[in-house]
Amino acid sequence: DAGVTQSPTHLIKTRGQQVTLRCSPISGHKSVSWYQQVLGQGPQFIFQYYEKEERGRGNFPDRFSARQFPNYSSELNVNALLLGDSALYLCASSLGTLAEAFFGQGTRLTVV
Amino acid sequence: GEDVEQSLFLSVREGDSSVINCTYTDSSSTYLYWYKQEPGAGLQLLTYIFSNMDMKQDQRLTVLLNKKDKHLSLRIADTQTGDSAIYFCAEWIPNDYKLSFGAGTTVTVRA
């Protein structure tokens, strides 16, 4: 079975641009979460979606938004990119809101 | 509030046991996790423990939980070179539907 898949794997954007990151959860998983991992730090929680509804939101500005589709895949959008948004963005899927979370390989975003 | 702390580095000889320690603060945590991250990769779920357990063993991995002291440890028996990685401790924060991670412990296995 395929694990959590994220696309693209790498991305370079210019300050002020917008970016969309994509995530497909493990088949049968209904919950998707997004995390930001800056180099040298642990992942920081951005959003959790379950059954297409936002269940949790971390301490990130409104430039960050996400949604979950009927097939449970998810997109993370970041507007007006800043240099500080450069990070590894990780998607995790789980069966429910309280269950083991399995992570994808991440999308490495570089803002120049 | 929640705050997960880990020591930053651990060096261990191949074949010895590794012990990685972690402390957490949120008393509402229900699950505690250990993840492994190799260079350039995502997070691999190693094991987890429910908060009403004291110990969990899974092959070479042993997790010990002291809920009174909010202390979690991961023991890796017979450490191999392939165990070199960053290990993250994480607690599940049920009210916020999120995992709260420590900064990670870099484990280096020397021959």
**What are the pLDDT digits (tens) for A56-71?**
999 999 999 999 999 9
Q: Could you give the angle at the alpha carbon of A19 between the alpha carbons of A16 and A24, nearest 5°?
A: 165
Q: Is the pLDDT of residue A32 over 60?
A: yes
Closest-approach residue (CA) in chain A for B89? A42
Across B36-54, b (16+ Cβ under 10 Å) vs e yields bbeeeebbeebbbbeeeee
The answer to whether A49 touches A97, Cβ cutoff 8 Å, is no
Looking at CA atoms only, how far is residue A56 from chain B in angstroms?
5
| pLDDT tens sequence across A7-25 | 999 999 999 999 999 999 9
Both tokens of A6, joined, read 């994220």
Q: Taking residues B75-103, what's their average pLDDT?
A: 94
**Strand ranges, E, within chain A:** 5-7, 10-13, 19-24, 31-37, 44-50, 53-57, 64-68, 74-78, 87-94, 102-103, 107-111
Amino acid at A22: R
| For residues A93-105, average pLDDT | 85
Q: Is the pLDDT at B96 greater than 90, yes or no?
A: no
Give chain B's mean pLDDT. 93
Please report, rounded to a whole number, the percentage of residues in chain B having pLDDT higher than 70.
98
| Confidence label for B2 from pLDDT (cuts 50, 70 and 90) | low
Cβ count near B57 (within 10 Å) = 12
Question: Rounded to whole angstroms, how far apart are CA atoms A72 and B107?
Answer: 35
User: Pairing relation of β-strands A64-68 and B5-6?
Assistant: unpaired
Mean residue pLDDT of chain A comes to 95
pLDDT of residue A1: 61
Residue-wise pLDDT for B21-34, tens only, equals 999 988 777 899 99
Which residue from A40, A55, A103 is facing B43, i.e. has the nearest CB?
Answer: A103
Residues on chain A touching B34 (C-beta within 8 angstroms): none
Residue with tokens 């691999």: B44
Tokens of B2: 């929640």
**If pLDDT is split at 50, 70 and 90, which confidence band does A97 have?**
low
Distance from CA of A20 to the nearest CA of B (A): 19
What is the C-alpha R_g of chain A?
13
**How would residue A98 be classed by pLDDT, with cut points 50, 70 and 90?**
low
Say whether pLDDT at B1 is over 50.
no
- Cβ–Cβ below 8 Å for A106 and B42: yes
Whether residue B14 is predicted with pLDDT greater than 90 in this model: the reply is yes
